[in-house]
Amino acid sequence: MRAAAAFLLAVLLTGCGGGNHKTATTQKACPVLGKDVTIPLLDPAKTRTATVETNLGTFAFALDVKDSPCTTSSFAQLARKHFFDGLIFHRIVPGFVIQGGDPNGNGSGGPGYTVVDTPPSDARYVRGVVAMAKTGAEPPGTSGSQFFVVTGADAGLPPDYALLGKVTRGLDVVERIGRLGDPQTEQPKRRIVIRHITVTP
């Protein structure tokens, strides 16, 4: 009887992660909701940069693999599969954000799946921060393929949006794009195309 109770306790602890600290460090892929797809985790020991080439210039940002392992891994995989090539920045709010990554071009699309990385409670969305867009009905940290770059000093958003990274080069390009939106409709005044996104190394 005592042996059976000990066995049951061990099973419960394993199921809850108790006493099994290897789970988080040896996890190889992200849990995905939706389409049957495997997303291998990026190596957190490596510094990764995403370079976004647009028809108005190029900007780059460092991927926040530490805070958002699944989000950054998914983004990198989509970029390497040329998912973003030819997509537009469909939402531009001057002094706030520029948003792209939607295959439908209107804010309704995605890759057919989502991942979740709950942001730190002290996450702030200040100028140059890149994060993932989501609907109000989705849990904090949910992401598909739509991302935004903050162009204002502080977007004043709650910590609900998975952190993708921070602009390290070409902030002037981001700000130039950010001036090309209609503040009333949040529509771009001209077509801003993502030609290609490269993730290195």
Q: Report the pLDDT value the prediction gives residue 28, as an integer from 0 to 100.
A: 83
Token digits of residue 200: 């290195």
- Contact status, residue 147 vs residue 100, Cβ threshold 8 Å: yes
Residue 58 burial by Cβ neighbours in a 10 Å radius (0-12, 13-18, 19+)? middle
- Contact status, residue 193 vs residue 88, Cβ threshold 8 Å: yes
The pTM of this model reads 0.86
Token digits of residue 31: 């849990």
Token digits of residue 114: 């989502």
* H/E run at residue 23: helix 22-26
Assigned architecture for domain 49-200: Beta Barrel (2.40)
Cα 153 → chain centroid: 20
Cα 82 → chain centroid: 16
Domain with CATH 2.40.100.10 in the chain: 49-200
| CA distances to 16, 156, 176, 184 from 151, in Å | 41, 12, 9, 17
Beta strands in the chain (DSSP E): 33-34, 49-54, 57-63, 89-93, 97-100, 113-116, 129-132, 142-143, 147-150, 163-169, 194-200
Cα 161 → chain centroid: 8
- Contact status, residue 149 vs residue 129, Cβ threshold 8 Å: yes
Q: Report the pLDDT value the prediction gives residue 26, as an integer from 0 to 100.
A: 57
- Contact status, residue 34 vs residue 113, Cβ threshold 8 Å: yes
Q: Report the pLDDT value the prediction gives residue 25, as an integer from 0 to 100.
A: 45
Give every residue of the chain whose pLDDT is below 70, as ranges: 1-27
